[in-house]
Structure 1
């Protein structure tokens, strides 16, 4: 039997008890995402029992992740988020709405939180390009963004033009 290749660097995301549900949602929502493996606990542990799902290997946009069902002690915070670069308003709307329609909630400036508490920045490339351009263009785009929840590309592009 061949041992599967373990990535050199993996993002470990701590969940209370529903890492598999989250991984399945991410795999169904984002391209180049999949649930790769589910591992049961080999014995009892503080937040679960032998045989419960302990870890889930998955990818989000090709990024290797490990979901750990470690219990409620360490909730997600805004200190970690996935930033998703989008090219169109339709793509921006699709990801934003998928997260909100699955029990998530919106925040400001392109940020939203999924139902598991993980934070997402749904960031259209025109906004990032405006920030990179700097100067008055960046100032106008930034001011427009500060008024938004979900980013509206047409408004950002109008602000960039002045």
Structure 2
């Protein structure tokens, strides 16, 4: 038997709104089930659950979702959409969306650039000054 592991996101009455918001941003995304209390949805084919649990718990940076991006266009699209309507930019590719969920929008080339001992410090210095990652600036660091 194979057990699937997936996150449950606790919202204060905003699970439907959040699931629709996320599905509008990510390709291959859809709402699978919605009984008003629990919403099951997929983002890029990955299962999530949204729970209308009430005001007791809030999101924080202790948990975030990492999004690997091949291109600057992907980074720009995700950054713009996830920070829209009250989302907040953070440093080094981190952001919070309008629901308070933390995301890391990261270029897939970053580990390769950091693994080059001759360039790692320059790359690190460059990305530490960034909010949204700029792939060309990282490559040129």
Give TM-score scaled by structure 1 length: 0.81
Q: 1:88 aligns with which of 62, 65, 71?
A: 71
Corresponding position: 1:69 with 2:45? no
Distance 2:11 2:118 in 1: 42
User: Secondary structure, in 3 states, of the residue corresponding to 1:102?
Assistant: helix
**Greater Cα radius of gyration, structure 1 or 2:** 1
Aligned-partner SS, 1:20: helix
Give me the CA root mean square deviation. Answer: 1.3
Number of equivalent positions: 139
In the alignment, structure 1 residue 118 sits paired with structure 2 residue 98? no
Q: Is 1:140 the counterpart of 2:122 in the alignment?
A: yes
Q: Which runs of 5+ in 1 are unaligned?
A: 1-6, 40-52
Q: 17, 22, 43: which one pairs with 1:21?
A: 17
Query: Where does residue 4 of structure 2 map in the other structure?
Result: 8
Shift of 1:138: 2.3
Contact 2:84–2:98 (CA<8 Å) still a contact in 1?
A: no
TM-score (norm 2): 0.92
Aligned to 1:130, what secondary structure does the other structure show? helix
Q: Distance in 1 between matches of 2:80 and 2:132?
A: 10
